[in-house]
Every structure is written in C-alpha cells, then in structure tokens.
Amino acid sequence: AQLDTLDIVVLAALLLGTVAYFTKGTYWAVYTDPYGSSLANSNGSTKAGKSRNIIEKMEESDKNCVVFYGSQTGTAEDYASRLAKEGHSRFGLKTMVADLEDYDYDNLDKFPDDKLAVFVLATYGEGEPTDNAVEFYEFIGSEDVSFSEGASAEEQPLSNLHYVAFGLGNNTYEHYNSMVRNVDKYLTRLGAKRLGAAGEGDDGAGTMEEDFLAWKEPMWTAVAETMGLEEREAVYEPVFKITERTDMDADEDHVYLGEPNKNHLEGAQKGPYNVNNPFIAPIADSKELFTVKDRNCLHMEINIAGSNLSYTTGDHIAIWPTNAGKEVDRFLSILGLGSKRHTVIEVKGLDATAKVPFPSPTTYDAAIRYHMEICAPVSRQLVSNIAQFAPSEDVKNEMAKLGSDKDYFHEKVIDNNLNLAQLLESLSKGEPWTKVPFSLMIEGLVKIQPRYYSISSSSHVQKDKIAITAVVESLHKPNAPHVLKGVTTNYLLALKQKQHGDPNPDPHGLNYALTGPRNKYDGVHVPVHVRHSNFKLPSDPSKPIIMVGPGTGVAPFRAFVQERAAQAKAGQTVGKTVLFFGCRRKDEDFIYQDEWEQYKEALGENFILHVAFSRDGPKKVYVQHKMEEYAEELDKLLQQKAYFYVCGDAANMAREVNVLLGKIISKQRGIPESKAEEIVKAMRASNQYQEDVW
C-alpha cells in the first residue's frame, strides 16, 4: 500500500546515508535483508563481498532476466518473485529477483540486448520512491545521468536495454503511481525499450491484484515475441529446498524459534534497533479507551528506555506482530503438518539468488507463527498455483475455477474475507492438503509485515515512553463463515488483557504465544522499532495549528496537544490549538475525553475542540461538517499562517478534507475555487498542510 505522507524525505536521507555506507562496503552487503538473515548468516546468499554489478551477477549465475523491486511493505517484492517464477516456469527465462538497493546502475548501458530487466515499483506516500529505491531513482532520473561508457543522455545510452514495468500505487494520492510513470519516462528518454505496456495497480480501488493479473498476460506475450520465447506447460519448480532435520531438536541453541536474527537468538538483544532488528520493549501500561463491549480501542505505553531508540512527536512506531495460535494451528493442520510442527527444518534457496525470508534452521511452527503473513487476503494467482496439489480431483477443479474466474473468486473468497487456510479447509472439507510443497507457501505468502502506528505521546513530555492508540480490527460480515481478526491489533489486545490479569484473556480463543520465542517476550513485551516522519509541529509553539483527526486519526494530535499543554504550563507562549475530532457517540468512543479537559486547563482559551458525533443525533455529523460550521474561524487562522494537519483515513476523509478546505477558502475569501485550490496546493508544498494518513 502507498502508506505514508511526508515522512519519507527525512528518513530517506538518513537511510540513504546509512544504506549507501553499508552497502558499498563488503561485509555489510546484505545488511538490509529485513529478516536479518545476514546476521543469522544462515543461507548462501549472504556471502561477504557481494558484487553490486548486476550484469556480472547475471552472468555468473547464468540469468537472462532480472526482476528488480522497489518495495516498502512487501507487496512489490512479492509480485517481483511471482513474475520471476512465472517467467521461468512458463517461458524458460532464467530469472532472478533483485532488491534495487543491492546494485549500482551506472553500467546499465552495457546491459545485453538479449536479456530482460523487469521493474516492479511501489510508489510511497506523496509520490516518493520506497526506501530501497531512492538511490536508483535519483540516479536514473538525474538530469546529468552518466554511464560507464560516458555516453550522454542524448546519445540514448540504454538503447540495448529491454525492460517491462509495473507500478503499485494508490489513486487516493495525488501522485498516483508516479514511481513507475517516472522511471518509465526516464528509461525511455535514455533509449531503453519497453516491452508491453507499463502496468499500474491501484490499492485505492482495492484492485491491485487484479490489475497485476490483467497487466501481465499481454506483457508476457510481448516479451515472448521480442525475445523469441516459446510458452511451455508450466511445471512447478520449488524455489526453496526444505530439509527436515529429524536429527536435530527444536530446543537446540542454534534453532530459530521465531527470533528475528542471530543477536536475538543468542539471547542478548543488541542495537541499533531498526527495521531489521526490533527492540523487545516492555509495555509499561495499557488501557481500553472505548466504553462499549463489542469494539476495542487500545491505549498502550511502550517503554523504550535503555534501547537507544528515540522519537520526536509525530513519528511512527512499528509493531512486529505474532500470528494468532488459532490461525497457526489451522494452517499447519490443513497442510497436514500438525504433528510435525516442532520438526526442525532447514530452508535454503535452490538458486544462489533466492533469498530465504526468515532465518533457518527453524521449525514449521516458528516460521508460520512469526514470519509468514498467513491471515492476509488470498492471491488468486496462488490459488491457481496450489490447484495442482489439491487432495482430490473435484477440489482441484474448484481451485482451478477460482483461480481463473475473477468474479467467482471475489464472490467466494474475497467477499468472505477468507485467508488461505480457511479457504483450503472449506474446499476440502477439512481433508489435509499434504501434497502442497512448503516451498510454495514460502513463495506464495508475503513475509509478515510490521504495522505502523502514529505515536500518540509527546517526546517532550515522555521521551522514554511511546504511546499508541489502536483500534482493534474485528470484522464480521453477515454471511461470512469467520470473523476477520486484525493480526496485530488482536495480538495487542491479548497483551493488554494479559497485563491486566483478565480472567478471560482471550475472548475469541485466538490463543497467542504471548511469551514469544523461548519466553523472550515474557512479562508483557512487544517487538518494535521507530520510524521517523516529517509530520511535525511548527518549531515555534506560538504558531497556530489546526488538526483534523477523526477516530484513531486523533493519535498524533493527542501528542501535539499534550506537548503544547506542557509548553504552556512551562510558561511558553502557545498559539491557538484547534482540533476537529469525530466519533460515533459521546458515551462510546469519544476517546481521551478526560484528557482534553486537562489540556484545556493548561492551554485555556487557546485550545478549541470541535467534536462531531456521527450517531448521537438524528443527523450524521462528521468532522467535515464541523469544519464548515467553523469555516470563518478556520480561514482566519489559515490567514495567520496556521499549520493544517490531517490524520486518519486516506481513502475518503483525507481527500474530502482537502477538497473542502479549498471550498472554505474560496467562500471565505470570495475567490474562485480554482484559485483556492492553488492556495491549498501551495500550502502542501510548503509543509503548511501536512498529512499522516493510512
């Protein structure tokens, strides 16, 4: 998903420096492997001295097609792996997958014309490249890009390069799919030749997977034609070799039972803590914010003291989830692995270029519980791929139908919110699918992703304690056979219940392994890292601010108001602090109701809270209505250069607020809407308008 707003710039700069430094070296060449298998040093792909020369690498490993990915949340990486596999199985291409960050691009002018480069590129936030694509993007888009042979851009130095491109974006953002659009433009400008059309997937419309599937068929036709490839009967070839080590015991010290990397395995967690290396943080405090029984919203205080992690108000914290035991059991059982769950397995790439997404040796249980996204929506392509391993002919036919019929698949699978194991279970009526190679599961499912939360505390007020405000995802569609339980938020709920010694700690029987691998999370701990963002208060607290944050969108604004209240208490001049908040009912989900009163005491007249209740009256009232109601005040503050902040739902609310702001400005100032829209755009460009949306 195209996740964030403005936070990437600072982060990218920081990360670029770090990554550039580490990856140019030899020893740390694979430092950015998200699962730290470099630290684990557990597979063949982590050799020291790894070359950054892609052409050499392809020659050495006898490849004629490289699939590069620019990925933030793992989806682009997953699509890249799928394309690589398909290119090989259907067309005999000798494919490899490559992280854009792992190579240099100044020799692309020597890319042989009988080889193919595939680019799978996610766009991040406001049109930025993903972290791992920053360097490539800056290089290829540079006005004075220069290649090894010294040819200038006008001389079309890339005229030998054949490529295809697919982008992952979100149409709710202004710079929709700008990564793939721009890279495509830059490559074409440099003379490279694209085969087929550049594809665009839209997460905003929820059609990413279908867009991808629809794009790739004509693309393959174009590739096959240009490269003279014959399509062949696709036979499944595993990417990973799974060896069951019955000679080993899961208790042995070097077996990973869910530890994210070698440091964690060896017992003493060591910083720096980052996206590759979480800090196992104690949860200092937790409480329920809603007063209704059937919905939960958690406030948690996570202690980062002694970790060397730091944050500033407006940053994000990532929570590394653990899958629910109930779903782990279902998954193991439907694959017929229940009795082997604690068998030690060694996972190796069958090809030197295949990266194992978790450290090994491990066990089936640990790999599934801690590393694989087993509860996510099912991919239709995976359904096609699994069909051949069905336990019976009937089930196979049904799977094949689901795989090939988009509408049928939606009706049966997506609309019912099924995850993979639930689907397999229902199709075979519980009969285990023992023929499915475990490698196919590793290939077909995404690595579990840490989830981000907008920090809801001020770093000035509590520098060692990070607060989050998370609504627990629990979705029951009327006729769906299962309640969809959000992976991370239900894990957090179980932790909260444990902390409070709840007599019924797991009301849904989800059965989390709360004490973590080898009890390393015992007490009440959760693995985390911090991500810095650009969503920031003005450095001068006397500047006015306007915040729009319905629901959990209020999270960073609790931090903002907490900070300004503390500043006011300390005698600083604090400007007008206006918050538009929205919820259903005053006595259900009006979160932090008491706290707002306290902040009001500190900030006095300068704190103004407008609350919209959508279900309390005869009419639904949303934050947008409140903005309209207070349009005059709002515009007056904007004219005084108030900072304007929006947080929460990207798909609808944030977009509507953006449009509405233009309308308000137009009406209040008596100027045409087009002019007002330009003002809003300029506010965004100068950071006077900031978004933190998801």
Residues 287 to 306 in contact with ligand FAD, rule: CB under 6 A: none
Q: How far apart are CA 556 and CA 578, in angstroms?
A: 14
Beta bridge partners of 337: none
692 is catalytic: yes
339 is catalytic: no
Closest approach, Cβ 199 to ligand FAD, in A, equals 23
Span of 357-365, 369-377, 590-598, 652-660 interacting with ligand FAD by CB under 6 A: 369-377
Taking CB under 6 A as the criterion, the residue among 473, 588, 633, 677 binding ligand FAD is 473
Residues 320 to 339 in contact with ligand FAD, rule: CB under 6 A: 321
Q: Which CB, 400 or 414, lies closer to ligand FAD? A: 414
In Å, what is the CA distance from 230 to each residue of 34, 66, 126, 346?
Answer: 36, 19, 41, 35
> How many residues sit in the footprint of ligand FAD (CB under 6 A)?
27
Beta bridge partners of 516: none
From the candidates 454, 457, 458, 459, which is the catalytic residue?
Answer: 454
Nearest in space to 367 (alpha carbons), one of 500, 256, 214, 213: 256
Question: Angle at the Cα of 453 (from 29 to 277), degrees rounded to 5?
Answer: 25
Taking CB under 6 A as the criterion, the residue among 79, 453, 599, 645 binding ligand FAD is 453
- Cβ atoms of 164 and 116 closer than 8 Å: yes
Q: How far apart are CA 416 and CA 481, in angstroms?
A: 7
Question: What is the dihedral sign for C-alpha 409, 412, 415, 419?
Answer: negative
Closest approach, Cβ 380 to ligand FAD, in A, equals 13
**Contact string 544-583 vs ligand FAD (x = CB under 6 A):** --------x--x----------------------------
Helix (H, G, I), strand (E, B) or coil at 300: strand
Closest approach, Cβ 552 to ligand FAD, in A, equals 4
- Do the bridges between strand 577-583 and strand 607-613 make them parallel or antiparallel, or are there none, so unpaired? parallel
Q: Which residue has the tokens 């538009």?
A: 580
Taking CB under 6 A as the criterion, the residue among 31, 279, 358, 452 binding ligand FAD is 452
Nearest in space to 112 (alpha carbons), one of 231, 216, 199, 227: 227
From the candidates 215, 647, 649, 666, which is the catalytic residue?
Answer: 647
Q: How far apart are CA 164 and CA 265, in angstroms?
A: 41
Question: Annotated binding residue at 694?
Answer: yes
Closest approach, Cβ 594 to ligand FAD, in A, equals 20
Closest approach, Cβ 68 to ligand FAD, in A, equals 24
Taking CB positions, which residue lies at the least distance from ligand FAD? Answer: 486
Q: Which CB, 161 or 537, lies closer to ligand FAD? A: 537
Helix (H, G, I), strand (E, B) or coil at 465: strand
Question: Annotated binding residue at 338?
Answer: no
Residues 586 to 615 in contact with ligand FAD, rule: CB under 6 A: none
Closest approach, Cβ 488 to ligand FAD, in A, equals 3
Q: How far apart are CA 115 and CA 120, in angstroms?
A: 17
Which pair of tokens denotes residue 15? 């990360």
Taking CB under 6 A as the criterion, the residue among 16, 242, 376, 400 binding ligand FAD is 376
Taking CB under 6 A as the criterion, the residue among 487, 495, 612, 623 binding ligand FAD is 487
Closest approach, Cβ 127 to ligand FAD, in A, equals 16
- Per rule CB under 6 A, is residue 316 in the interface with ligand FAD? yes
* Exposed/middle/buried for residue 102 (C-beta within 10 Å: 0-12, 13-18, 19+): buried
Which pair of tokens denotes residue 133? 């694509």
Q: How far apart are CA 493 and CA 471, in angstroms?
A: 10
- The DSSP code for 659 is H
Question: Annotated binding residue at 693?
Answer: no
647 is catalytic: yes
Beta bridge partners of 96: 66
Q: Which CB, 50 or 525, lies closer to ligand FAD? A: 525
99: part of which helix (H) or strand (E)?
strand 95-99
Span of 22-30, 133-141, 427-435, 449-457 interacting with ligand FAD by CB under 6 A: 449-457
Beta bridge partners of 97: 67
Span of 275-283, 331-339, 450-458, 564-572 interacting with ligand FAD by CB under 6 A: 450-458
- Cβ atoms of 261 and 33 closer than 8 Å: no
- Per rule CB under 6 A, is residue 694 in the interface with ligand FAD? yes
Question: Annotated binding residue at 504?
Answer: no
User: Which residues lie closer than 8 Å to 457 by C-beta, 6 or more apart?
Assistant: 301, 313, 465, 466, 467, 558, 559, 562
Question: Annotated binding residue at 203?
Answer: yes
* Residue ranges binding ligand FAD (CB under 6 A): 3-4, 316, 321, 375-377, 417-419, 451-454, 469-471, 473, 475, 484, 486-489, 552, 555, 694
Annotated binding-site residues read: 71-76, 122-125, 168-177, 203, 295, 451-454, 469-471, 486-489, 552, 614-615, 620-624, 656, 694
Tell me the catalytic residues.
Answer: 454, 647, 692, 694
